[in-house]
Each structure stands twice: as C-alpha cells, then as structure tokens.
C-alpha cells in the first residue's frame, strides 16, 4: 500500500476476497497508528475498487475533560441567554445555573480552538428538522463544518402519565398545557434529576441529536461528557474534510472516466459513420452494376432498329449508372464526416451524459 501511494486498484471480486484481510488489518501490529484500510468503489460502470489507507481519527484525537467552574460568574452570551430563555431552557429552574455554566465552559473551549459560536437561527417553519434542534442553544462553526447543541436535563423515571389532551405537539406548534414548551410531547411528567446532557446536531449526528450525558452508572461526570462531545465534534470535523477530499477525488476520477468514455465514443461514432458510408457506397455500386448489366443485355437482345430508336434512352441509362457508381468518382470515396455533436455521441456514452461529466448515472 505504501508503494502504491496509499491506494491500490483491484477488481471487485478480488476486493471481496480481501474483505476479511482488511478487517483483520485493524488488529495488526504493523498498521500505522491513525490509519486503516478501506475499500472504495470507483463507480457504477467500473469493474475496479480502490483499497486505500484512510485516516482513523478515533486513534489520534484525544479525549479531554472540560473544566466547569461552579463559582464563576455567568458572563458568556450563550450562557446568559440560556438563563433568560426559560421557555426553551430544557432544564428545570433549580439546575439552570449549572447548565449555563456547562454551556459557558463549552463556549470557552470553542473559543480556544478557534471555532466560531453564534446564536442559532431557529427556523420554526423548516421541515425535516427535529423540533428540539429548532431550539438549540448554540451554533458552532468548526474549521470545515457546523454544529448545533443544546443543554438539557434528563428526567427521572416514574413520572405520572400526562392526559392525552394536555400533551404537546412541538412538530405542529402546539405546546403542552400548563407546562413549559420544552416539555414537548412527553407522555409522562418531567421529574427533575439534576443530571444534564448536551445534544449535538450536525455531520454524523442523530436526527434527534446525539446525547452526551453525565451518568452514575458509567461513572461519567458532566465534565467528561463535555469532553466526549468536543472530541466527537473534532472527529466529525476531520471526517467532513476527508469526505470533501474523497468527493473531490471521486469527481476527478469521474471526469477521467468520462473523458475516456467520450474518447471511445468518438472513435465508435466515426467507425459507425464510416461503416454506414461504406454500406451506402456498396449499395450504390451494386445498383450501378445492375443498371450496366441491364443496358448490356438490352443492347445484346434488341434488334438494331429497336436500339436505334432507343439510343438516347440508353445513353441516359449509361450516364445514370456512372452517376450512381461511387467508383466513378475516386476523389470522393473517402467520406467527409463532421465532428460529432453531444447528441451524436449519446448512443455511445452508456450511462454518462455526453454534455456534462457530472451528470448521468455512471
């Protein structure tokens, strides 16, 4: 792989046979730290697959613990906004300041990394977005992509059942009756636990937000959970960049395949036109020979008097035979074939679009 510049081109069947070997390579002591073998198809029309060395970011991005001060003043804008926005705090009042300090600790960490934080644009009319994402507490722009996050409190179990008529439907803009809107569509009463989580939306995250929460069962403190969240964001950011590089490489490969396909299509187009011209010349030559044979037979069979009265006709017949015969005009035997248009090439391009290498189903 190193001799092949990190990429090896093999047939699809050969790649399938290498599947177990590629999986086993993850346990190999000779595998470079932070790298792993993957297979990547070249395209639908290609019979080849790329076996490549790809980054394994989980091995190189460390986990950090985010320090949360329990006494620091809440001065950061997103943390202050959380304290003010009680309707969409997703935290009970008794634990709101702790949640704000967690949000403030994250904002400080993001600033140190050079990531840009801003107020999220909460488009309540957007479709295909989970309702909680519409009420995120912070928007973060990393080096390559962007995320939304939300601090929330996890309810204790055992809450009383909420009557159906009093339940909310946030997806349709109906808040729950007699409860803060962030309760959402819960079917049981929210019981404050003081246990916090941070939900993350963005590249490689769940539609409902990937939760990073403190837990006594797993001995995960809130500072640990925040560290895991920041690590997940850093890894996702790197993978987003890798995805862009792969897309660029696939685009280059697709253009290369398109150019090769077009080159073959042009050659096939000219071969087809030449074959059509040849078939037309043979057809006209045979027709001319039939006319000449007819003229010769007439001269052999007809009486001289009959031929004399038809002489002008047979002179025309002979001229017509010469006009049909392509061999009578040697200089025009080679056909003049104009350069093909995209429509001319379409039948020879397979699943590629003859006008645009990035269109089609190849």
pLDDT the model gives residue 33? 84
**pLDDT score at 64:** 87
Q: Answer for the pair 354, 345: CB distance below 8 angstroms, yes or no.
A: yes
* The pLDDT of residue 45: 63
Alpha helices in 170-326 (DSSP H): 222-301, 304-309, 311-324
Give the C-alpha separation, 169 to 163, whole Å.
13
Q: In this predicted structure, what is the pLDDT of residue 40? A: 77
Paired residues of 117 in beta bridges: 140
Asked if residues 190 and 132 have their Cβ atoms less than 8 Å apart, the reply is no
Q: What is the pLDDT along the chain (362 residues), one digit of tens a residue?
A: 444 556 777 777 777 777 777 778 878 887 888 888 888 777 666 778 888 888 889 988 998 899 999 898 999 999 999 999 999 999 999 999 999 999 999 999 999 999 999 998 766 566 677 888 889 999 999 999 999 999 999 999 999 999 999 998 877 778 888 899 999 889 999 999 999 999 999 999 999 999 999 998 888 999 999 999 999 999 999 999 999 998 998 899 889 989 999 999 999 999 999 999 999 999 999 999 999 999 999 989 988 888 888 899 999 999 999 999 999 999 889 999 999 999 999 999 998 999 999 887 65
pLDDT at res. 199: 96
The answer to whether 349 touches 262, Cβ cutoff 8 Å, is yes
In degrees rounded to 5, what are phi and psi of residue 202?
150, -160
Give pTM, 2 decimals: 0.76
State residue 168's pLDDT score: 86
pLDDT at 3 (0 to 100): 43
Give the model's pLDDT for residue 358.
Answer: 87
CB 150 within 8 A of CB 88: no
How many H helices and E strands in the chain?
8, 8
Q: What angle do CA 312, 318, 321 make, to 5 degrees?
A: 140
């Amino acid at each position: 792989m190193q001799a092949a510049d990190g990429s090896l081109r093999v047939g699809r069947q050969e790649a399938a046979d290498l599947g177990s070997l590629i999986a086993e390579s993850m346990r190999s002591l000779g595998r470079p730290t932070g790298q792993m073998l993957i297979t990547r198809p070249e395209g639908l029309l290609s019979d080849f697959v790329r076996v490549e060395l790809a980054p394994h970011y989980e091995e190189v991005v460390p986990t950090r613990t985010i320090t949360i001060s329990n006494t620091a003043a809440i001065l950061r804008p997103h943390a202050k906004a959380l304290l003010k926005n009680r309707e969409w705090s997703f935290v009970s009042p008794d634990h709101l300041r702790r949640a704000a300090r967690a949000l403030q600790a994250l904002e400080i960490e993001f600033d140190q990394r050079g990531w840009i934080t801003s107020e999220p644009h909460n488009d309540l009319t957007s479709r295909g977005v989970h309702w909680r994402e519409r009420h995120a507490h912070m928007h973060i722009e990393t080096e390559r992509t962007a995320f939304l996050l939300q601090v929330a409190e996890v309810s204790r179990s055992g809450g009383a059942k909420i009557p159906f008529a009093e339940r909310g439907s946030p997806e349709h803009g109906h808040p729950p009756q007699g409860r803060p809107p962030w309760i959402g569509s819960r079917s049981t009463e929210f019981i404050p636990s003081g246990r916090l989580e941070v939900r993350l939306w963005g590249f490689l995250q769940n539609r409902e937000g990937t939760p990073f929460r403190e837990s006594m069962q797993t001995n995960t403190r809130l500072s640990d959970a925040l560290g895991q969240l920041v690590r997940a964001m850093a890894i996702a950011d790197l993978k987003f960049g890798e995805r862009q590089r792969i897309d660029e490489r696939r685009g280059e490969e697709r253009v290369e395949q398109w150019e090769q396909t077009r080159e073959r299509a042009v050659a096939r187009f000219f071969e087809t036109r030449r074959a059509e011209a040849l078939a037309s010349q043979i057809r006209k030559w045979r027709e001319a020979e039939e006319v000449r044979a007819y003229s010769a037979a007439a001269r052999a069979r007809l009486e001289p008097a009959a031929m004399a009265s038809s002489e002008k006709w047979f002179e025309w017949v002979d001229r017509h035979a010469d006009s049909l015969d392509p061999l009578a005009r040697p200089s025009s035997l080679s056909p003049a074939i104009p350069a093909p248009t995209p429509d001319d090439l379409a039948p020879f391009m397979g699943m590629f679009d003859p006008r645009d290498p990035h269109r089609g189903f190849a």
